[in-house]
A and B are shown apart, each in its own frame.
Chain A
Amino acid sequence: AQSVTQPDIHITVSEGASLELRCNYSYGATPYLFWYVQSPGQGLQLLLKYFSGDTLVQGIKGFEAEFKRSQSSFNLRKPSVHWSDAAEYFCAVGYSGGYQKVTFGTGTKLQVIP
């Protein structure tokens, strides 16, 4: 069965600092990978996704993620964090044909300090 691990429950960074949120997945074949962001009291918004091809994926709001098959990872990065990036971030994994089986990680809550 597929699974997703986000090892960091909570991360605090200073505004302007770089950010990396970790995501590890477990799945036998090539997965579909996603990062979503959830602002307080809101639904989830898709930041970026990886289906195939270039392993470095660009998303909205200046985020990017890199798929590393050898490490089963799909870490999210941003070179310079803004206060408005404070939110909860979810990594998710799905697979071709398994349209009902998108598994979400438990989330990483990002705090940004001035």
Chain B
Amino acid sequence: NAGVTQTPKFQVLKTGQSMTLQCAQDMNHEYMSWYRQDPGMGLRLIHYSVGAGITDQGEVPNGYNVSRSTTEDFPLRLLSAAPSQTSVYFCATKPRRHQETQYFGPGTRLLVL
């Protein structure tokens, strides 16, 4: 049981490049989400999903796309990276939509030059 896994651990991009951050969970959790963490700003919700085929925007969705084709995976796509997207990205899951305790992945550190 690996829990929540994220790949890659670290990535450097040039402005305008695209990439996908991967998040996978093997706990059959219904709810998955993406946060970004910036110094002095805590964690901010980007997108979330309450089940396969269902996604919605969080607090800071601009510049990011998501999809949820399976229960296990919830990739985050940057179509055209910008320096403002330099951050640490965390995927988090929880078993049911109305349960509040989240389980976090180890994070992906992204640097956009």
Contacts and interface: CB of A to CB of B under 8 A. Distances in A.
Nearest to A32: B100
Interface in A65-114: 90, 94, 96-97, 99-102, 104-107
Contact of B48 (A32, A34, A100): A100
Interface stretch (B14-22, B35-43, B62-70, B71-79): B35-43
Contacts of A9: 40
Q: How large is the interface on A (under 10, 10 to 19, 20 to 34, 35 or more residues)?
A: 20 to 34
A42 to B, nearest CB: 6
Contacts of B98: 96-97, 99
Given A43-B90, A43-B104, A44-B104, A99 B50 contact: yes
B107 A43 contact: yes
A102 B58 contact: no
A104 B106 contact: no
B58 A99 contact: no
B33 A106 contact: no
B42 A105 contact: yes
Contact of B33 (A41, A42, A43, A100): A100
A18 to B, nearest CB: 25
A90 B106 contact: no
B41 A106 contact: yes
B56 A100 contact: yes
Contact of B42 (A32, A46, A94, A104): A104
Interface string B68-100: 000000000000000000000010101001111
Contacts of A49: 100-101
Contacts of B92: 44
A106 to B, nearest CB: 4
10 contacts: A32-B100, A41-B107, A42-B107, A43-B107, A46-B101, A99-B94, A100-B33, A100-B45, A100-B50, A106-B40
Interface of B: 4, 31, 33, 35, 40-45, 48, 50, 56, 58, 90, 92, 94, 97-107
